[in-house]
Amino acid sequence: MATATKRGVARLLTAAMVVASGVSMLATTFAPGTAQAAAKVATAKQSISIAQIFDTIDSSRQAEITTENSVIAQFNATHPQYNVTLTTYNPQLDVQTQISDMETALLKKPSVILFVPVNTTGSLAAVKLAKKAGVPVINQDPTTPESSLYTASFQVADEQLYAQGTVNYIKAYLAAHPSVVLHMGLIFGAPTNQPTLVRESAIQALAKEMPGRIKIEATAFGNWLTATAQSLSQDWLEAHPDINFISCANDIMATGAANAVKLAKMEGKVQVSGYDLTPAGLQRVQAGTEAVDVGAVNAEYGWVIDAAIEVALGTYKGAPGWTGNAFNNKEVYEVTKANVNKMVGLANALTIPFAWPLSL
């Protein structure tokens, strides 16, 4: 009897739960005022959804995303008629994953896509999908010539300018020290990350122009890892005692190179250079253990949101800051001990106001 009662109560409870779920679902769908409320929200705010597909998300990209979210928050607050949202994707330097991320992004029907290709040619397959779906794509790492698949391009600073920053430092150093010959070790990023290879290959080109002043003793891929760059640097300092400059394609690897120089007790004798203006990199420049750190100020990467809004609304043509379909800021900073104290504040700023009036 007791078991039958228990079973009966259980069945009653189950039925009650099913009925309650059904009623609440019907209520939310058909309740008077709900549809009207939704329509009111839709007309009150114009939705601009931005999908951002990176090549990979590391600490620099994470800082960019933080900046972009700040720009979006400011924009939504000052423009209540718009609702801008951002979704990011991380293909981890894999072309196939990037294509898959594009497919996922397109399912959500974004207004515009920001795209950092893993591979200049391989990643075009992803861009083709967006073009087929009629979604504009902004290339955040454009090359020359640029593919016609992209609607527009945005550059805070291109890789050529990045490389030029280190090259400028080297030229200035050699001019100031006429008797010095630089024996260099070059640590590239990852072989699959083609656009960034120029950061070190530009130095190889400079070495060919100045064969009596620059000798490339060793090159290798560091795969953006501190430990790998540290091992490489340790081995090179042993194999090539003349090495007096190790150039790394980013500050994370420069950490490893600086550690190796410290372990070899060669601080002051071997210079290290890096990219990206990370807090650790700028700290090393202040301490004198990194000779030059080249990069764009993170806050200026937030301007990509302004560019994306203009492309989403179709107002970018002829808008200030644009040259045809290219938005190119061309701001690159070469940070040395001479200017690092001025740069720290700028490098740590979360947002910098857009340099031009936004076209809406």
Partner 1 sequence: MIGELMRIQFLRRLLVTNKAILFAICLGATFTFLSPVFLTETNIFDELQQVSVMLIVALGFTFVLGAAEIDLSIGGIVGLVGVIMGKLMVGGGVPVWLAVIIGLLCGAGCGAFNATIISQIQIPPFVVTLATGSLFTGLLYILTNLIPVSNLPNSFDDIGMGYVGPIPVPVFIVIPLILVAYVGAKKSVFGRYVVGLGASPQVVHAAGVNVKRVRLGVYVVSGLACAAASVVLTALSASAQVSAGSDLLLDVIAAVVIGGTPLFGGKMDIVGTVFGCLIIEMINNGLNLLGVSSNYQIISEGLVILLALTMDVQSTKFLANLGKRQVRASRLAEKAEMSQRAG
Q: For binding to partner 1 (CB under 8 A), which residues are involved?
A: 57-59, 61-63, 66, 188, 191, 217-221, 223-228, 230-232, 234-236, 238-239, 252, 255-256, 259, 262-263, 279-280, 283
Distance of CA 204 to the CA centre of its chain: 25
Least gap, CB of 348 to partner 1 (angstroms): 12
The nearer residue to partner 1, 296 or 307, going by C-beta atoms, is 296
CB-wise, 120 or 231, nearer to partner 1?
231
Q: Considering the complex, state which of residue 116 and residue 130 has its C-beta at the smaller distance from partner 1.
A: 116
The first and second tokens of residue 330, run together, are 């061309």
**Interacting residues of 139 by C-beta distance below 8 A, sequence separation 6+:** 115, 116, 117, 127, 146, 147, 150, 152, 153, 154
CB of 99 to partner 1, least distance (A): 21
Instruction: Report the C-alpha gap between 358 and 152 in whole angstroms.
Output: 16
State the minimum distance, in angstroms, from the CB of residue 323 to partner 1: 33
Query: Closest distance between partner 1 and the C-beta of residue 91, in Å?
Result: 15
Rank residues 140 and 329 by Cβ distance to partner 1 and give the closer one.
140
Q: Minimum distance between the CB of residue 218 and partner 1, rounded to whole angstroms?
A: 6
Q: Which residues are within 8 A (CB) of 236 and not within 5 positions of it... i.e. 6 or more apart?
A: 185, 217, 218, 243, 246
* Residue among 164 and 230 whose Cβ is closer to partner 1: 230
Nearest distance in Å: CB 293, partner 1: 14
Task: Using CB atoms within 10 Å of the CB of residue 260, give its burial: 0 to 12 exposed, 13 to 18 middle, 19+ buried.
Answer: buried
Dihedral angle computed from the Cα positions of residues 228, 229, 235 and 239, in that order, rounded to the nearest 10 degrees? 140
List of residues 6+ apart from 73 with CB closer than 8 A:
none
CB nearer to partner 1: give 89 or 224. 224
